[in-house]
Amino acid sequence: MFRVPFLVAIALAIAFGGGIWSTLRALEATAGFGAIRLGAWEAFPNAQTAAADPYAKSHRASAGALLYATAEGLQFTANVDDSGAALRGDCSYRISGHTPPTRLWTLHSVRTETMRKAEDAGLPVALNSRAILRHADGSFEIEVSADAKPGNWLAVPGDRRLRLRLTLLDTPAAGSSGLIDLSMPSIQQTGCRDA
Amino acid sequence: MLKLGLAIVTGLLGAALLHFIIILSLPYFSEKDAYTRVLAEGERHSFHRLPDIRDRAGLVQDDPFVELSVCAYDISQGPIRIYARGDVPFWSLGIYDAGSNEVFSINDRTASNGVLDVVLATPVQLTLLRKALPEPISEAILVETQQADGYMVLRTMVPQRSFNAAATEFLSQAVCAPFDWRPRQQF
């Protein structure tokens, strides 16, 4: 005798539960369509424009971040290494190669409270194009690790998942839609601490 | 059983519908979007420097080498002028409307003489401005925007700690404010 209300309740529960859950998931998982992926790096050159897709607009409305405009730069984020494995703070990585043509760039892991403590302790938690050692041809190698390394060392918090952010300032890459050949530095794992 | 299947299918259709409704309407209802946060920083028409720890408005300087200031504007009463100059290795300005869509962006290489001098106006104001073109803004870049309110972000780079003083000076003397734009009435 309660069959019909029961069925209606199921339909409503699936509609509201599923609708809200899928929306939250979608906003969390991606910053929209239109990403350019170069190896492990990912960027959204159109996310701040009026031409951005509804998912990108919705994401930026709920994240509230200050995005880089076209003449300002382009932000690349890496969550994985070149083999597709998630970046971890207890592993070491080597970032090597060239960036796309750009005037300046900065590299850091996405900031957390622990990082700020490390910054205060004088550790190199961020690097930029003016302050690194390079080979004669302009390419570079950066060691990403929680332990001190020789050469260019990027100190990262050792206990959690990592996200690396490479910001290109004043780059033609921001205005291009794949017309110029972009090459991003590779990210390779060089070893992990024992658990 | 068939009715149960039908209820589940109806539920899934409703979920998909709700998903798209939320995605499409979120930008109009969000209270966490960048414009709301910039407004929460303080009064309009002045630059507010962002701290390196997330403030109450929810904004933060997230790149250790990039210092930034934000300014909310409303040009419905009159155009505003954005002006800054200084000896910094890099600066850039991005102007956005209230929906966080990019209106205009510029950096020190695309500006003339590396000086930031931009006038932001509505199409009607711009017509009047072009007719009169008061002396102080004759060199400025005139930018037209349809929406009267929005915000802007001024960034500058501090590649080494020794550039800190220059960056602070550059950001602290930056202006985004209304100016005397109507030609004086002759009596």
Say if residue A59 is in the same domain as residue A85. yes
Determine the residue of chain B that is closest to A68 in CA distance: B94
**Helix, strand, coil % over all residues of chain A, rounded to 5:** 25, 30, 45
> A7 and B7 in contact by Cβ < 8 A?
yes
Find the range with the poorest average confidence among A104-113, A174-183, B104-113.
A174-183
Gap between the Cα atoms of B59 and A63, Å rounded? 11
Say if residue A132 is in the same domain as residue A170. yes
Residue A24: domain span: 1-30
Residues B98-118 as b or e (16 or more Cβ within 10 Å = b):
bbbbbbbbbbbeebeeeebbb
Instruction: Name, in order, each residue with C-beta under 8 angstroms of A16's C-beta and a sequence gap of 6 or more.
Output: B14, B15, B18
Say if residue A133 is in the same domain as residue A176. yes
Say if residue A24 is in the same domain as residue A59. no
Say if residue A152 is in the same domain as residue A168. yes
Determine the residue of chain A that is closest to B104 in CA distance: A69
Determine the residue of chain A that is closest to B153 in CA distance: A66
ipTM value for the complex = 0.83
Find the range with the poorest average confidence among A73-77, A163-167, A189-193, B135-139.
B135-139
**A–B CB contacts, 8 A cutoff, strictly below:** 186
The string of DSSP letters for A79-130 reads SB-TTSPBPBTTEEEEEEE-PPS-SEEEEEEPP-HHHHHHHHTT---EEETT
Predicted pLDDT at B12: 92
- pLDDT for A18 beyond 80: yes
Predicted pLDDT at A180: 60
User: Measured between CB atoms, which of B24, B36, B100 is closest to A60?
Assistant: B100
Say if residue A13 is in the same domain as residue A90. no
> B18 and A20 in contact by Cβ < 8 A?
yes
> CA of A194 to nearest chain B CA: how many angstroms apart?
31
Say if residue A21 is in the same domain as residue A82. no
- pLDDT for A117 beyond 90: no
Half-sphere exposure for B76 (CA within 13 Å, toward CB): 8
Say if residue A92 is in the same domain as residue A187. yes
Mean pLDDT (whole number) for B14-41 = 88
Mean pLDDT (whole number) for B102-131 = 88
> B30 and A62 in contact by Cβ < 8 A?
yes
Interface test with B, best of A22, A46, A72 (most B CBs within 10 A): A72
User: Measured between CB atoms, which of B24, B60, B157 is closest to A104?
Assistant: B157
> What's chain A's length in residues?
195
Give burial (CB, 10 Å; 0-12/13-18/19+) of B127. Answer: exposed
Predicted pLDDT at A193: 78
- Residue A92 belongs to domain with CATH number: 2.60.120.600
Across chain B, what does the average pLDDT equal? 87
pLDDT in tens, B32-75: 888 998 998 888 898 999 887 777 788 888 888 889 999 999 99
Say if residue A40 is in the same domain as residue A128. yes
> A69 and B96 in contact by Cβ < 8 A?
yes
Say if residue A88 is in the same domain as residue A108. yes
> B92 and A3 in contact by Cβ < 8 A?
no
Mean pLDDT (whole number) for B95-123 = 89
User: Measured between CB atoms, which of B27, B58, B102 is closest to A69?
Assistant: B102
Q: How many domains does chain A have?
A: 2
Gap between the Cα atoms of B105 and B132, Å rounded? 25
Task: Write out the two tokens for B167.
Answer: 């960056």
> CA of B106 to nearest chain A CA: how many angstroms apart?
5
Q: Which of A106, A109, A136 is nearest to B163 (CA)?
A: A106
Gap between the Cα atoms of A169 and A71, Å rounded? 8
Determine the residue of chain B that is closest to A25 in CA distance: B19
Measured between beta carbons, the chain A residues lying within 8 angstroms of B94 are 48, 67-69, 71-72
Measured between beta carbons, the chain B residues lying within 8 angstroms of A118 are none
- pLDDT for A38 beyond 60: yes
Q: How far is CA A119 from the centre of its chain?
A: 20
Backbone angles phi, psi at B82, to 5 degrees: -115, 120
> CA of B91 to nearest chain A CA: how many angstroms apart?
8
pTM of the model: 0.85
User: Measured between CB atoms, which of A16, A48, A169 is closest to B157?
Assistant: A169
Backbone angles phi, psi at B175, to 5 degrees: -120, 140
Q: B32-176, which class in CATH?
A: mainly beta
Mean pLDDT (whole number) for A37-45 = 85
Say if CB B59 and CB B41 are below 8 A apart.
yes
How many other CB atoms are there within 10 angstroms of residue B166's CB atom? 15
> B63 and A50 in contact by Cβ < 8 A?
no
> B106 and A71 in contact by Cβ < 8 A?
yes
Say if residue A22 is in the same domain as residue A81. no
Three-state DSSP class for residue B100: coil
Determine the residue of chain A that is closest to B52 in CA distance: A116
Determine the residue of chain A that is closest to B105 in CA distance: A71
> B70 and A66 in contact by Cβ < 8 A?
yes
Measured between beta carbons, the chain A residues lying within 8 angstroms of B68 are 66
Find the range with the poorest average confidence among A26-40, A155-169, B160-174.
A26-40
pLDDT in tens, A136-173: 888 899 999 888 888 888 888 877 788 889 998 888 77
Domain ranges, ordered by start, for chain B? 32-176
Mean pLDDT (whole number) for B160-180 = 89
Instruction: Name, in order, each residue with C-beta under 8 angstroms of B20's C-beta and a sequence gap of 6 or more.
Output: none
Predicted pLDDT at A142: 92
Sheet containing B175-178: which strands, arranged edge to edge? Answer: B141-144, B116-121, B80-84, B175-178
Gap between the Cα atoms of B39 and B50, Å rounded? 13
Give burial (CB, 10 Å; 0-12/13-18/19+) of A122. Answer: exposed
How many other CB atoms are there within 10 angstroms of residue A3's CB atom? 9
Beta strand spans in chain A (E): 36-38, 41-43, 73-78, 91-97, 104-109, 126-128, 140-145, 152-155, 164-169, 186-192
